[in-house]
Homo-oligomer: A and B are copies of this chain.
């Protein structure tokens, strides 16, 4: 930190003592256990980088390794062969990451052999017969304008032994994995198997999650593009609702465990009357329940717009309503279709109350996730990929790159998959949503908002 910092006055003036209880005080009570709780004396450190010498004095403060190029590296570029694989669902920006990996490896480090494996982890397994694609600066030029992934993708795991066999057989030194939490767990197992075989092969991930639910990231790449695109559906849903008597529109957005896309899209477009997210349970029936409040809204405003994350309301499904059962064969909870449930319940409720209903249901998931990255995500993907290349060339492995509090960092995969980033029901983001929608803080009794650990960007 520059020594001149000592001269800087960081103190804000206050007009005088505060004696008026805030109208927000009741809400603030609920924040006590949250990292959003701001106590009077709280301060944000101006500089959060600590060098090794400083760290000794600070004892136990948790910290992450800083990303960036190192003066000495582990791999000899002229002898390095690199593999890239993309796994899981689509997300805006994957091609930008591929392009920037290839460009940085080639231009700045002089790596000349870069291979793309096709269709996720299937690409390593001989029986699928997928070809391997040579990637050059020329062949990846222009791919950023396309959505999706030029390498193809697939879900699910493959035999780890066969994957490492393939890496060894092809002489791969570094494997870049662009994928979600499942794929990162796969990458971790690959790195562990490499470790067991004691091979000098690095495994570096670029975490991909359109839901923004990977912890230790300010925001995941593609997230801004995704919620921006989602605002189009919200705008359309508003127009539909407003243009018909008893118009109720329901927009289902991505978000199995985390309601970030729903929150940001609703805040950005400012048309939603209700936002339903997994982190804030609600009740359909009873006084103050969703249906009662919805009816009141339609009566007063003439129409209503509901934005629901796909993971919202999972606790409301009865066994009878759960398509395919509440749990799957392995006993895992099955994600139920909250869109269908909302349509059923709203239709039945309005009929029971003799109210005209024109219900429109919009699920734009495929259209959202397949658009090209917007300019912001385009830059972000490029810089993430550059950080990943620096880390990999320096010999880091079993890690992902991320951006935490605006600093590019290295995160052990184990840490990145240890929990989820979720919307804090006691945080500023959710409060801004409540303010923008005008929906009550609680829809129905007995619904208890979740506790969110402080591991994620809001």
Contact = CB atoms under 8 A, between A and B. Distances in A.
A428 B24 CA distance: 41
Interface stretch (A162-170, A238-246, A337-345): A238-246
Contacts of A364: 364, 367
Q: How many copies does the complex hold?
A: 4
A395 B45 CA distance: 22
Nearest to A378: B268
Contacts of A269: 375, 378
B414 A9 contact: yes
A435 B109 CA distance: 11
Contact of A406 (B23, B40, B218): B218
Give the secondary structure class of A's interface: mixed
Contacts of A39: 51-52
Interface string A188-231: 00010000000011100000000000000010000010011001
B47 A35 contact: yes
Contact of A104 (B49, B375, B394, B435): B435
A65 B25 CA distance: 19
Contact of A243 (B35, B51, B153, B394): B153
Interface in A83-117: 90, 103-104, 107-110
Contacts of A248: none
Interface in A381-419: 382-383, 386-387, 391, 393-399, 404-412, 414-415, 418
A10 B64 contact: yes
Across the A-B interface, give the 9 residue pairs with the lowest CB-CB distance, nearest first: A41-B52, A43-B63, A268-B375, A148-B243, A148-B239, A239-B370, A405-B405, A228-B375, A38-B68
